Amino acid sequence: MTMPILRSGKIVRALCVASLLLLGYAAGGAVQAGAQARSEIAGPDPSSMLTSLLSAACRQNQAQFVNYLTAANAKAFQDLSDDSRAAVVKRFSLNDVVGRPLLSADANNHPVVRCEIAGSTIEFHFGAARVEENVAFIPVQTSDGPATQFGLIRESGSWKLLSLGLVLFDIPQLAAQWSAQDLESHESAVVQTLAALAEAVQRYRSIFGKLPDTLAQLGPAAKDEVSADAAQLVNADIAGGSMDGYKYRYRLLPASTPVDALFELAAIPEEYGKTGRRSFLMDSAGKVHGADKKGALATAQDPTVGSDAEPSTSKP
């Protein structure tokens, strides 16, 4: 399952941390570095720097992207895992595939960056830059969303990214927040997979008159060879008990007859903390329980997942 990349105006909400720090940081930096900044030879103007940053993000070129970060953020960026660095760059390009940047200007001679990807183009329209000594602010509007204010700071004579909106761009904090958001989205998808798997089990029962003994029996079959041992109801990954970073378990509950048989489904993260934190159990009544079990199995005593994600009952 591919995690969605936040688009247009949603990027500001996704970055909503330390929002009040920017004003103090920027004002303090301007006073402290103002005299030095006046004596420095300015590097490329802030709009050109931001154009280069968004172009690098469009190409998903991490080696170029890091050049436009402050020294502290550049080091923090390099210290991230490969997946986390890729996620940071993808959030700036607003897509999860490599694109081709095209540069132009609007009627007011403000830059326009177009990121072309298969089947679509994302446009970034710049507004007029406002420069105040060693700090600059540039409004940027995407083709399908409101404007976002980018803050830049001049560091060692070159412009570097400082903020998005009124949010200080602090990679260590943001990486932790983004990672938590991605895990939450991934865990929600796991609950939906449990629901779909339960429906496959019920369909197997309706076709063959009994519950399967294992998940493998739900898996793919050769052409025209569907049977009770290969019902072709789920893909090979889930039939093998593992998909998208989670392990799935299926357990038949004791019953006097096949008609009365019930079952439970469980899902645990393959790599606790990386592919997920919560473990899940769908009980025999079809309710999903979930909790942070440090990678162990969830139980029916754990809290139930919200009703909007509850699957159908596991009874016939």
Q: Does position 3 have pLDDT exceeding 50, yes or no?
A: no
> What mean pLDDT comes out for the span 29-57?
63
The two structure tokens encoding residue 193: 């997979």
Compute the average pLDDT of residues 205-233. Answer: 93
Window from 41-55, 79-93, 128-142, 168-182 with minimum mean pLDDT: 168-182
Three-class HEC string of 234-249: CCHHHHCCEECCEEEE
Return the structure tokens found at 128. Answer: 């007029």
Ordered DSSP codes for 188-223: HHHHHHHHHHHHHHHHHHHHHSS--SSGGGGS---T
Residue extent(s) of CATH 3.30.540 domains in the chain: 177-309
**pLDDT above 70 as % of the chain:** 76
Which of 63, 307, 276, 40 lies closest to 179 in space, CA to CA? 276
* pLDDT(219) > 90: yes
Task: Please tell me the distance from the alpha carbon of residue 93 to that of residue 113, in angstroms, as a whole number.
Answer: 10
Architecture per CATH, 177-309: 2-Layer Sandwich (3.30)
Stretch 147-156: mean pLDDT: 89
Helix (H, G, I), strand (E, B), or coil: what is residue 291? Answer: strand
Give me the pLDDT at residue 8, please.
36
Q: Which residues pair with 253 in a beta bridge?
A: 262
3-state secondary structure of 20: coil
For residue 183, the model assigns a pLDDT of: 79
Cβ of 151: how many Cβ atoms within 10 Å? 21
Q: What is the pLDDT of residues 126-149, one digit of tens each?
A: 999 989 889 999 999 987 677 888
Average of per-residue pLDDT values in the chain: 80
Instruction: Give the integer Cα–Cα distance in Å for 187 and 176.
Output: 17
> Which are the contacts of 294, defined by CB distance < 8 A and separation ≥ 6?
272
Kind plus residue range of the DSSP H or E element containing 92: helix 82-93
- pLDDT digits over 222-247, tens only? 988 999 999 999 999 999 999 988 99
Beta bridge mates, 131: 136
More confident residue, 159 or 95: 159
Is residue 32 pLDDT above 70, yes or no? no
How many whole angstroms from its chain centre is CA 120?
A: 20
pLDDT, position 173: 64
pTM for the full predicted model: 0.47
Structure tokens at 44: 């490329």
Contact predicate 231/218, CB 8 Å = yes
How high is the pLDDT of residue 176?
67
pLDDT band of residue 152 (cuts 50, 70, 90) is very high
